[in-house]
Amino acid sequence: MSGDKKQAKKVISSGNAELDGRMGGGLPRGTLGLIEGNSGSGKSVLSQQIMWGALQDGYTVSLFSSENSVKSLVPQMSSIDLDIMEFLLLGKFRVYPVEFSHLGDNAVTELIQAMKRENEYSRDLIVVDSLTSAIIHTTHEQSILNFFEEAKRLCAQGVTILVTLHNQAVASDIVGSIRSMCDAHINLKAEQDGQKLVKILEVAKIRGAASVTGDIVGFDVEPGWGMRVIPISKARG
Ligand SMILES: Nc1ncnc2c1ncn2[C@@H]1O[C@H](COP(=O)(O)OP(=O)(O)O)[C@@H](O)[C@H]1O
Ligand SMILES: [Mg+2]
């Protein structure tokens, strides 16, 4: 573990008190976490929020992104009030753009190898956003499960790993196995409610959380502000 500040804290938090409260106080270190949801449900925004919270607490973070380059991530995070420039310059935050489509079955194995190498630099949090494009090119379901088994082994060494996944990309029995292998599972949904698109965050489980989880909340992504938790009746209404 590197650095400064409030590292006595044993959890990775989002830095957003309301959100942390809903997540049982934050992700215990060493958690293997799954953020599941369809397109536009908030997987990237939630993982950006958690990465930023970790950086604020002095943790080191590495992101494997199939969605953003460093160049596109900086303005995206800045648009929701998450300034990462300083952390990038200090090497506390590393971003690896990844392109899986040409790797076929090797995508998940190459990814876990890269994550292991990254862990050798004792990173505190490793995020994969998203695993979907790696998985859709995988024909052997066992290699997907191997990925999670290996990730779990890394977590046992102390690193926290967060993976986002578009659930429809994988057969439902595989999704079930993945969910049960993960220590934390957050489910995001964007539901059409009349005219309105409502975003829902469900904390399905967080093993070892300081407080009770299992909560369902609505949220909005506000430009210049980020994720704002809103009461569910209002969110649906
Ligand atoms: N800066 C922003 N201002 C307003 N809305 C945003 C901003 N960034 C992302 N969003 C919205 O947040 C929602 C979730 O986006 P995202 O996290 O990228 O979804 P996913 O990764 O699940 O596909 C989308 O509706 C997106 O338009
Ligand atoms: Mg995304």
* pLDDT of res. 139: 85
Label residue 194 by pLDDT band (50, 70, 90).
Answer: confident
Domain membership of residue 42 (yes or no) is yes
Domain count, the chain: 1
Q: Is residue 226 lining ligand 1, measured as CB closer than 6 Å?
A: no
* pLDDT of res. 2: 46
Q: Is residue 42 lining ligand 1, measured as CB closer than 6 Å?
A: yes
Domain membership of residue 6 (yes or no) is no
Q: How does pLDDT run across 66-75, given as a tens digit for each residue?
A: 999 999 999 9
* pLDDT of res. 203: 93
Mean pLDDT of 187-215: 86
* pLDDT of res. 84: 97
- Res. 38: pLDDT tops 50: yes
Q: How does pLDDT run across 1-16, given as a tens digit for each residue?
A: 444 444 556 899 999 9
Q: Which ligand is nearest to the CA of 66?
A: 2
Cα 222 to Cα 122: distance, rounded to the nearest angstrom: 34
Q: Is residue 167 lining ligand 1, measured as CB closer than 6 Å?
A: no
Domain membership of residue 83 (yes or no) is yes
Q: How does pLDDT run across 50-61, given as a tens digit for each residue?
A: 999 999 999 999
* pLDDT of res. 169: 82
CATH number at residue 91: 3.40.50.300
Domain membership of residue 182 (yes or no) is yes
Question: Taking the CB of residue 191, how many other CB atoms lie within 10 A of it?
Answer: 14
Q: How far is CA 62 from CA 6, 81, 96, 120, 236, in A?
A: 19, 20, 8, 12, 35
* pLDDT of res. 10: 86
Mean pLDDT of 170-179: 92
Q: Is residue 79 lining ligand 1, measured as CB closer than 6 Å?
A: yes
pLDDT averaged over the chain?
Answer: 91
Q: Can you list the pairs that 206-210 forms with residues at least 24 positions away whose Cβ atoms lie under 8 Å? A: 206/23, 206/24, 206/27, 206/28, 206/31, 207/28, 207/31, 207/183, 208/28, 208/31, 208/183, 209/23, 209/24, 209/25, 209/26, 209/28, 210/11, 210/24, 210/25, 210/26
* pLDDT of res. 181: 97
Q: Is residue 41 lining ligand 1, measured as CB closer than 6 Å?
A: yes
Domain that holds residue 90: 11-236
* pLDDT of res. 145: 95
The bridge status of strand 160-165 relative to strand 32-37 is parallel
Domain membership of residue 190 (yes or no) is yes
Domain membership of residue 155 (yes or no) is yes
| Top-confidence range, 165-169, 200-204, 230-234 | 200-204
CA of residue 4 to ligand 2 center, whole Å: 30
* pLDDT of res. 237: 53
* pLDDT of res. 234: 58
Domain membership of residue 3 (yes or no) is no
Residue in the structure block whose two tokens are 């995988």:
138
Q: Which ligand is nearest to the CA of 131?
A: 2
Atom of ligand 1 nearest to the CA of 190: 25
- Res. 212: pLDDT tops 50: yes
Domain membership of residue 213 (yes or no) is yes
Beta strands in 69-195 (DSSP E): 93-97, 125-129, 160-165, 184-193
Looking from the CA of 157 toward its CB, the CA atoms found within 13 Å total 18
Q: What is the pTM of this model?
A: 0.94
- Res. 211: pLDDT tops 90: no
